[in-house]
């Protein structure tokens, strides 16, 4: 599976409170929630994001609260993949469980700049930067996790069993 889009870049320790502030957690509708995605650190995000775009973070992306609303709003906003140096572990689980593709790749996180055109192949873990004509290698998912994503999330995978 392959996705492509432009890079939208953030720094280290992007926490779930800035991805979706707690004051909106009384909202259940994912679309309405997504309209507040990243607003405390980047009010322009929701206006500049286009379907397929790729979010790039630094260290410890998604740290903080366990709110699943965080990967949900990123996915709902149209982001096809998040690339970071490292992910906080609950965010990592949640992203897999709800079917948001994520890849750990320090070289891509360092090499990619805001606006670069990026292509990602999840089967091989190859990240291609079309703007800079660079490629970066991420570790592809282990089969266990691939199976969850292939089924469309954890609950569908369990149901199939």
Partner 1 sequence: MGMTMTQKILASHAGLEKVEAGQLIRTKLDLVLGNDITSSVAIREFEKAGFRAVFDTEKIAMVMDHFVPNKDIKAAEQCKSCRTFARNQAIHHYFDVGEMGVEHALLPEKGLVAPGELIIGADSHTCTYGALGAFSTGVGSTDMAAGMATGEGWFKVPTALHFHLNGALRKDVSGKDVILHIIGLIGVDGALYKSMEFGGAGLKSLSIDDRLTMANMAIEAGAKNGIFEVDEITLAYVNERVNRPYEIYKADPDAVYEKTYEIDLSAISPTVACPHLPENTKDAEELNDVKIDQAVIGSCTNGRLSDMAIAAAILKGKHVAEDVRCIVIPATQKIYKECIQLGYAEIFIDAGCIVSTPTCGPCLGGYMGILAAEEVAVATTNRNFLGRMGHISSKVYLASPAVAAASAVKGFICTPDQL
Q: Transcribe 64-105 into DSSP letters.
A: S---THHHHHHHHTT--EEEES-B-HHHHHHHHHHT-EEEE-
3-state secondary structure of 140: coil
Using the rule CB under 8 A, is 21 a contact of partner 1?
yes
Q: Which is nearer to partner 1, 23 or 31 (CB)?
A: 23
C-beta of residue 61 within 8 angstroms of C-beta of residue 79: no
Applying CB under 8 A, does 63 fall inside the site for partner 1? Answer: yes
Is 156 an interacting residue with respect to partner 1 (CB under 8 A)?
yes
Q: Which is nearer to partner 1, 3 or 59 (CB)?
A: 59
Check binding of 153 to partner 1 (CB under 8 A): yes
CA–CA separation, 160 and 88 (whole Å): 28
- 33 to 62, contacts with partner 1 by CB under 8 A? 40-41, 59-60
Q: What x/- string results for residues 80 through 119 when contact with partner 1 is judged by CB under 8 A?
A: ------x-xxx--xx--xx---------------------
147 near 96, Cβ under 8 Å? Answer: no
Residue 87 vs 122, nearer CB to partner 1 = 87
Angle at which helix 89-98 crosses helix 143-151, to 10 degrees, equals 50
Counting contacts by CB under 8 A, is residue 154 touching partner 1? yes
The SS3 of residue 108 is helix
Nearer to partner 1, 68 or 119 (CB): 68
Both ends of the chain: CA-CA distance in Å? 23
- Interface residues with partner 1 (CB under 8 A)? 13, 15, 17-18, 21-23, 25-28, 40-41, 59-60, 63-69, 71, 86, 88-90, 93-94, 97-98, 142, 144, 153-156, 158-159
């Amino acid at each position: 599976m392959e996705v492509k889009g432009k890079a939208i870049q953030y720094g280290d320790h992007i926490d779930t409170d800035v991805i979706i502030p707690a004051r909106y957690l009384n909202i259940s509708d994912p679309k309405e929630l997504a309209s507040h995605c990243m607003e405390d650190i980047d009010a322009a995000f929701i206006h500049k994001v286009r379907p397929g775009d790729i979010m790039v973070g630094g260290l410890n992306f998604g740290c903080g609260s366990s709110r699943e609303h965080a990967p949900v709003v990123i996915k709902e906003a149209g982001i096809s993949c998040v690339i970071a140096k490292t992910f906080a572990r609950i965010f990592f689980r949640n992203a897999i469980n709800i079917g948001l593709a994520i890849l750990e790749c320090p070289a891509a996180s360092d090499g990619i700049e805001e606006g670069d055109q990026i292509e990602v192949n999840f089967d091989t873990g190859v990240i291609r930067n079309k703007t800079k004509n660079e490629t970066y290698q991420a570790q592809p998912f282990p089969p266990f996790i691939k199976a969850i994503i292939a089924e469309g999330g954890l609950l569908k995978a369990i149901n199939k069993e």
